Chain A
Amino acid sequence: MSGTSDTYLGMPAFPAAARDAVRNETLRENLRHATHTIRDKRAKAVAELDDWALLRAAGRDVKERTLRHLDHYLLQLEESVTAAGGTVHWAADAGEANRIVTALVKQTGQSEVVKVKSMATQEIGLNEALEAEGIRAYETDLAELIVQLGDDRPSHILVPAIHRNRGEIRDIFAQRMGSWGRPALAGLSDDPAELAEAARVHLREKFLRAKVGISGANFMVAETGTLVVVESEGNGRMCLTLPETLISVVGIEKVVPTWQDLEVFLQTLPRSSTAERMNPYTSMWTGTTDSDGPRTFHLVLLDNGRTDTLADEVGRQALRCIRCSACLNVCPVYERAGGHAYGSVYPGPIGAILSPQLRGTGSDVDASLPYASSLCGACYDVCPVAIDIPEVLVHLRERVVEGGEVTRNGERVTIKPAKGHTAERAAMRAARWVLDHPGALRAGQRLASRTRRLHPKRLPGPGRAWTDTRALPEVPAESFRDWWQRTRGGAR
C-alpha cells in the first residue's frame, strides 16, 4: 500500500478505537477543555470581521478555480520555482516521495535533518523512511516535538499533542529529551514557561547544527514560485533559513494562482485555526537567494491520491482544505473520540472525508471513517473554505455500502461494497419495499401495537448498544395513520 504511512497500518475501525477513547477520562477532559477554549476564541475572532461570509466564499472560489485548472497552475509553479533557482520533483505516491527526499538528503552527506511541522511528510511517513536509511529527522514544532519524544502519534492538525496535559508533557521531556539530544534540566516543573524554555534549549542546539531542513507549506504561489508557511512559534522560520539545503514536500492542492489570492487566506486561516488576527510568523521563500537562506532548494510535489480525489465531483471539495483545524475543534465526535481513532494524520471531520479518498475505502478504518459523524453540520458551518463535509460523508458512505465507480491511480475502476454491510443492505431493501407499500407499513405498525406489551426492554445484537444507555420508546396502542382513519375515516 504505497499510499499509506506504515504508522497507521492495521488500525482498528473507528467505532472500536473511539469506544476505548471515550472510556479514557483524562483524554476526554484534555480534549474537551482544549477544543472548547479554542472554539469560543475562534467565534470571537471571526465575529470581528463583518465580511467573513464574503471572505469564506472568496476562499472557496479561489480554491475551486485553482483545482479546476490544477495542471495549468502546477506547471506554472514549476516554471517559476525553477526560474528562481529551485528544483521541482514530482512524486506520484508516498513511496516515490520518500525515495526522492531520502536521495536528496544522502546527496548532502548528512545523517540528520530538522523539520518544521508538515502534514504531508507525516502523511507519507517520511521520518520512518529516513530512519530506515540511517537518517534522523528532528521535529522542531513544540507539539510535534512532544509527539516525537513521547513515541506517539499526532492527534490534531494544529496541536498534535492536544491529547496531552502539562503533567504528561513534563514527564515526556524529563524522561526522553536526553536520548534525542540535549536533556532537560533536572527538576523541570510543569510550568508552561519552563516547558517552553526546555524545548527552546533542546531545539536550539539542533537548529545550529543542522545542514538540511525539511518543511511543508501552507500555500504555493504559481505566478512567483513562492512558498508560504504560517506558524506561531518561529521554529519553522529557523528551519527554513538556517540550513544549507531546504527540501519542501507539499501536496499539489496547496497551489494558489497569485499573490493576491493569499490576501484571503492570510485572514481566514489564522482566525479559524488559532483565533488570531494574524499569524505571529508568516515566512515566504522563493527559490534561492545568494548569501541569504539555504543555498539549495528542492520542492517535492506530492500527489498520493490527490488527482484521484480530484476526479470525484462531490468529494474533490475536500482538496480545498487549508488545514485550519476549525472543524476538529467544533466536532462533537472528535471531542469524545480523540484524534488517534481516525487512524490518520488527518483526524476529525476533514480526516473522515480526506483519508478514505486519498487512501481508498479498502481498509477497515477507511471504510468506517465516513460513519464517524452524526452529520450535525457544525464542521461545515465553521469551515473557512465552505467544504460541505456532511455532503461528502454521505457520498462516501454510498461508496462504502454500494461500491461503484471510482478513480484509483488514474484509472476508472468499479469497486465492490466494503465487507460487513450485507445484513444492513438487506434490511434497507426490505424497508424500501415496506415503505413503498403503505398497506404493508400499516400492517407492521398494527402488529407492533398488538404485541407492544411483549417488546423487550433490552435489544439483542447491534441494538444492544442502544438499550445499554437509552430506554426504548414504547410502541403506542395506535399509529397516527390508524387514528386518522378511525377519527376522520374516508376523508383523504
Chain B
Amino acid sequence: MRVALFVTCVNDTLYPRTGQAVVRLLERLGVEVDFPQPQTCCGQPQFNTGYRHETEPLVRRFDRAFADHEYVVTPSGSCAAMVRDNYPRIGAKAAAEGRGEELAEAAGRAVPKTYELTEFLVDVLGVTDVGAWFPYAVTYHPTCHGLRVLGLGERPRRLLEQVKGLELRELPGAQECCGFGGTFAVKNAAVSAAMGADKVRAVESTGAGAVCTVDNSCLMHIGGTLAKKGSAVRPVHIGEILAATEEEPYV
C-alpha cells in the first residue's frame, strides 16, 4: 500500500522528528510513504481565526498535492479535523457566494482520503500492535479535535496499550481542553495559560514521565508550560512512541 504523508506545517517546521517517526513506523508496517512536495498547510489557523477566504487556495493546494493518492495520513488530529469538518463548509460557502462548485469538489475529494495517524493504523491497516517498545510511564491527553470532531475514541489508547514496556497512566480531567486553541493562546492569553496550568497539574499528578497526544500543537502548549515550570515530564507525540522499538529506541 502507498500513502501520502501530510506532515502539516507545524510538524514540518518545528517537529520534523514526528514526521520522521511516522515514516519509520509506516514503513515498518509495510506501507510505502510518499511526501508530495506541493503540500504546505491545511489552513486551520487562518480559518479558525475568521479568514476563510485566505484558506481557499490551501484547499485547492491540498487537493492538487494529494491528487495521486488514495490515502493521506497526517500525524495531527486538528489538521485532519480541519480537512474533514471544515473543507466541506468552505466549499459550500464559496458555492453559495456564486464562485462555482470547484472548491466544493476539491473538498469532496479531500475528505474521504484523509486520515489521522491512529485512525489509519486501526481502521485501514487494522493493527493495534505496531511492535513498539517504549519502557516508560505515559499519560495520554485526548485532544479536543481528536476527541470530539474526529471521534477517535479508544483508538489511540488501544495502540498505546499494545506498546511493550509502556505503562499507561489515567489522566484526571482528560477530556478538558488544554487551552491551546490556535490563536486563542495569544488572543486570550490569560485564560489559555490558566487552562494550560491546570492541564499540566493534572499531567504531573499522574507521575508519568511523558505526556502524549495525537497533535503537536496542543503538545507545544502543554510542553511549553511544563518547560517554563521546569517540570521533568516530556511531551511526546504518539507517532514517536509508536515508532520506537528496541532496535531503534526513542531518544
Contact = CB atoms under 8 A, between A and B. Distances in A.
B219 to A, nearest CB: 9
A-B pairs, 9 with minimum CB distance: A374-B181, A465-B189, A397-B50, A470-B224, A376-B177, A480-B16, A471-B227, A376-B144, A469-B193
B12 A480 contact: yes
Contact of B50 (A400, A429, A469): A400
Nearest to B89: A391
A476 interface: yes
B61 A436 contact: yes
Contact of A22 (B16, B175, B180, B194): B194
B136 interface: no
A435 B180 contact: no
Interface string B40-62: 11010111111111100110010
B188 A371 contact: yes
Interface in B209-241: 220-221, 223-225, 227-228
B162 interface: no
A378 B11 CA distance: 26
A301 to B, nearest CB: 31
Interface of B: 7, 9, 11-17, 19-20, 34-41, 43, 45-54, 57-58, 61, 86, 89, 144-145, 148-149, 175-177, 179-197, 220-221, 223-225, 227-228
Chain B interface mostly: helix
A381 interface: yes
A271 interface: no
A470 B50 contact: no
Contact of A478 (B16, B35, B57, B58): B16
A57 B149 CA distance: 18
Contact of B16 (A371, A375, A381, A479): A479
Interface in A390-431: 391, 394, 396-402, 424-425, 428-429, 431
Contacts of A445: 12-13
7 contacts: A371-B183, A377-B145, A394-B48, A463-B186, A465-B185, A470-B224, A481-B7
A479 B12 contact: yes
Interface stretch (A12-20, A137-145, A218-226, A259-267): A12-20
A371 B58 contact: no
Contacts of A372: 188
Contacts of A441: 9, 12, 40
A95 to B, nearest CB: 31
A431 B177 contact: no
Nearest to A424: B49
Given A374-B181, A376-B181, A436 B40 contact: yes
Contact of B11 (A402, A435, A480): A480
A22 B193 CA distance: 10
Interface in A422-467: 424-425, 428-429, 431-432, 435-436, 438, 441, 445, 448, 462-463, 465-466
A380 interface: yes
Nearest to A488: B35
- Secondary structure type dominating chain A contacts: helix
A15 B188 contact: yes
A158 B197 CA distance: 28
A431 B54 CA distance: 9
Given A377-B149, A469-B228, A394 B13 contact: no
Contact of A438 (B13, B40, B45, B188): B40
A462 B186 contact: yes
Interface stretch (A244-252, A286-294, A330-338): A330-338
A69 interface: no
Given A333-B191, A374-B184, A484-B35, 12 more contacts: A371-B188, A394-B48, A394-B86, A428-B54, A432-B58, A436-B58, A468-B189, A468-B193, A470-B227, A473-B220, A480-B12, A480-B16
A472 interface: yes
A475 interface: yes
A336 to B, nearest CB: 5
Contact of B36 (A381, A471, A483, A492): A492
Contacts of A468: 189, 193
A3 to B, nearest CB: 23
A71 B40 CA distance: 48
Nearest to A374: B181
B224 A375 contact: no
Contact of B176 (A18, A28, A332, A481): A332
Given A397-B48, A462-B186, A471-B224, A378 B54 contact: no
Contacts of A475: 13-14
A342 to B, nearest CB: 12
Nearest to B34: A492
Contacts of A400: 50
Contacts of A476: 14-17
A72 to B, nearest CB: 25
A424 B48 CA distance: 13
A111 interface: no
A170 B108 CA distance: 60
A122 interface: no
A14 B20 CA distance: 41
Given A374-B179, A380-B148, A469-B228, A436 B50 contact: no
Contacts of A473: 14-15, 220, 223-224
B177 A332 contact: yes
A492 B34 CA distance: 6
A398 B193 contact: no
Given A473-B14, A488-B35, A402 B144 contact: no
Nearest to A491: B34
Nearest to A405: B97
